[in-house]
A and B are shown apart, each in its own frame.
Chain A
Amino acid sequence: MSAVPHRLHLEGLPRRRAVNRAMEVLAWIAATIAVAILAIVVFSVAQKGWSELNLDLLTKSPIPFSLTNAPQGLANAFAGTLVIVALATAMALPVGILVAVYLNEFAPASVRNGVGIVLDVLNGVPAIVIGIFVFGLLVVGHGQSAFAGSFALSCLMLPLVARSTMEVLALVPNSLREAGLGLGIPQWRTTLSIVLPQTIGGIVTGTILAVARVAGETAPLLFTSSFVGTQTNWNPHHALQSIPVAIFELSESPDPKDHARAWAAAFVLLLFILLASLGGRWLATRSRRKLAAR
C-alpha cells in the first residue's frame, strides 16, 4: 500500500498486524497439539494393541506370575465387564428415566432446580470417592461383589441418563401432551404411551453414551470388585474381574508380557468406547435434525 494523503491513519499498524499474526499462529499450534495428542495416544494403543491381539485374549484365563509362554488371556475380565456393565445399566436406566419424568412432567420449578443441582453434584463426585462410598455401604462386612461394583457404576450413570432423558422429554412438544389429555387419556397414560415413546431414540442414545463413559471406569471397581479369581465367572454375587481393572493391574506389573496383554485389552476397550461414543453422538445429531425438521 502506497502512502495516501489526507488523514489515513496507518501508524503502528505493522506491529499490530504482527501481534495478530503471532496469535493466529499460536492458536493454530494449540489446535495442532490437541489433535496430535489424540493421534499419538490412539496410535500407540492401536499399534501396540493390534499386534498383541489374538483370540486367546477372549478365551483363555490369566495365569498370574507365569514363567512360561503358556497361552493366557483375559477371559474373566471380558465376562466380568459384560456382567457388571449390564447390571449397572439395569440399575441406572429405570431410575434415571423416572427421575427425568418426574422433573419434566410433575415437578414444580423449585424442585426441578433443586434436584437438578443434586444431579450436577452427583455428577461431580470423583469416581474414587464413589468407590469408597460403595465400599463402606456394601462391601464392609459382606465382601466384594459384582453387585457392589455395578451399583458404584450406576451412581456414575444415573446423572447422565437422567440429564439426557430430560433433554429429549423437553423436546416433545406440549401440544402432544395436551392432545392426549384433551382426549380424556389420564396423565399417567399420556406420559407412558404418548410422550415417552417419542423419546426412545434419545434415551437409547443417552444410554449408549453413558455406557461408553462407565465401561472404562476403574476407580469405582477397585474397592468393590477387584479381589478376583482367574476363572471366568458370571456370578454377580462374587467379585468379578473387569477390563479396566485388569489393564490397571497389568500396567503396574514389571513383566513386559503383561504389558502386551494390557495394550491388547486397552485396544479392544478403546475401540468399543470410541465406536459407542461416536455412534451415540451421530445418533444424537441425526435425531436432533429430524426433530428440527418436524
Chain B
Amino acid sequence: MSTTIEPTVKVETRRHPMPPREQLEKIFMIENLDAIYSGKPAVKGVTMEVYKNLVTAIIGPSGCGKSTYIRCLNRMNDLIPGFTQTGAIRYHGHDICSSDIDPVAVRRNIGMVFQRPNPFPKSIYDNVAWGLKVLGLKDNMDERVERALTQAALWDEVKDRQKASALSLSGGQQQRLCIARAIAVEPDVVLMDEPASALDPIATAAIEELMNSLKGEYTFVIVTHNMQQAARVADMTAFFSISRGDEGTRYGELIEYDATEKIFTAPSDQRTEDYVTGRFG
C-alpha cells in the first residue's frame, strides 16, 4: 500500500536528515526474538536492526509488548521470574542472549531509563557518582558528575544543592537525574522506556532535546506511546501491534520498521496507517 497520507498533526521535527541506510553502522541485529512470560508470549518473531547514533522509536498500542521488547535488549527481563526468550540479539555481532554472556557486562554498555523516575535514596551528587565509583570511573569525579548533569539539562537547577536528597526534586528533575545517572557511566546505547510519560510537556521537551543533542555520542532506543514524540525525535520508527494467535492468545508483533518520515507519511502496512492516522490504537 503506497498511498501518501497527510499526517494528522503538523509536528516540528528535531531530526536532521538521515544519511543513506547503507552508510549506517548496525549496532543491534535482532533475529526472530520471542519473549515469553511463564509460557505466554509477549512478543513474537521480531527481526530488525538498530543503527548506531540514531534515535529509534518503538511505537504501538498499549499491551503490544514494547516495554518487554526493549527490556530484552539489556537483559533486564532476566529479573522477572518465569521469563524466557528465544531467538538472538546480536550486539556488535555477539548474541547477548547466549548463556555465556554476563548480563552485568551487557548492562554496562546498554543502559536504561525507566518509565517512572527511580532515583536512589541518596544525594543528587551521589546518585550520579555512585555508579561511577562502583564501575571504576573514579577519576575527576566532580567533573564527570557535572558533565552528566549538564548533558541531562539539569546542572543549572541543581549545581548549588548537589548534596540535597534526590527525592526533593520534582518528577521531571528526578527523571533527568536518572538520565544523567545513566549517561554518566558512558554506555554505548541508552534504552528509554516511555521516559516522559509521567512528565509535563516542558520536561518532555527537555528530554527530547537532550536525545537530539546527545545522539552523536550515544545510540537511543525509545519506547513511546506518544506518536508526536516519535515524529519529533526519532530517525527510525518501529511499529508494533497486537496480533491474535490460536486459542485466543494475544502477543505483540513488529509490523513495520522504517525511517520515521516514511512511517508517518507513507506506511507500507494498513495497520501502521490505521495507527498513525489515529483510526485506532
Contact = CB atoms under 8 A, between A and B. Distances in A.
Interface of A: 1-2, 4-13, 16-17
A8 B104 CA distance: 12
B102 A9 contact: no
B100 A8 contact: no
B49 interface: no
A17 to B, nearest CB: 7
A36 B25 CA distance: 57
Contacts of B102: 1, 13, 17
A8 B109 contact: yes
Nearest to A7: B188
Given A1-B100, A12-B136, A7 B186 contact: yes
13 contacts: A1-B100, A1-B101, A1-B105, A2-B94, A6-B188, A8-B92, A9-B109, A12-B136, A13-B102, A13-B104, A13-B105, A16-B104, A17-B104
A93 B170 CA distance: 51
Which label, helix, strand, loop or mixed, suits the secondary structure of the A interface? Answer: loop
B250 interface: no
Nearest to A1: B101
B116 interface: no
B75 interface: no
A4 B94 contact: yes
Interface string B98-126: 00111011001100000000000000000
B148 to A, nearest CB: 15
B95 to A, nearest CB: 11
A10 B105 contact: yes
Interface in B151-203: 185-186, 188
B101 A11 contact: no
B135 interface: yes
Contacts of B185: 9
Interface of B: 92-94, 100-102, 104-105, 108-109, 134-136, 185-186, 188
A23 to B, nearest CB: 14
Contact of B135 (A1, A2, A9, A17): A9
A11 B136 contact: yes
5 nearest A-B residue pairs (beta carbon): A12-B136, A9-B108, A4-B92, A7-B188, A8-B109
Contacts of A10: 105, 108
Nearest to B108: A9
A32 B134 CA distance: 30
B90 to A, nearest CB: 11
Nearest to B137: A9
Given A6-B188, A13-B108, A17-B102, 6 more contacts: A1-B105, A4-B94, A8-B109, A9-B108, A12-B136, A13-B104
Contacts of A13: 102, 104-105, 108
A10 B94 CA distance: 15
A98 B61 CA distance: 56
Nearest to A9: B108
B65 to A, nearest CB: 28
Contacts of B101: 1
Contacts of A1: 94, 100-102, 105
A19 to B, nearest CB: 11
Nearest to A15: B136
A6 B26 CA distance: 13
A8 to B, nearest CB: 6
A146 B104 CA distance: 64
Contacts of B100: 1
A191 B134 CA distance: 58
Contacts of A11: 136
A16 B105 CA distance: 11
Nearest to A4: B92
Contacts of A2: 94
A199 B194 CA distance: 46
Contacts of A4: 92-94
A13 B109 CA distance: 13
Contacts of B186: 7, 9
A13 B188 CA distance: 17
A161 to B, nearest CB: 38
A140 B136 CA distance: 69
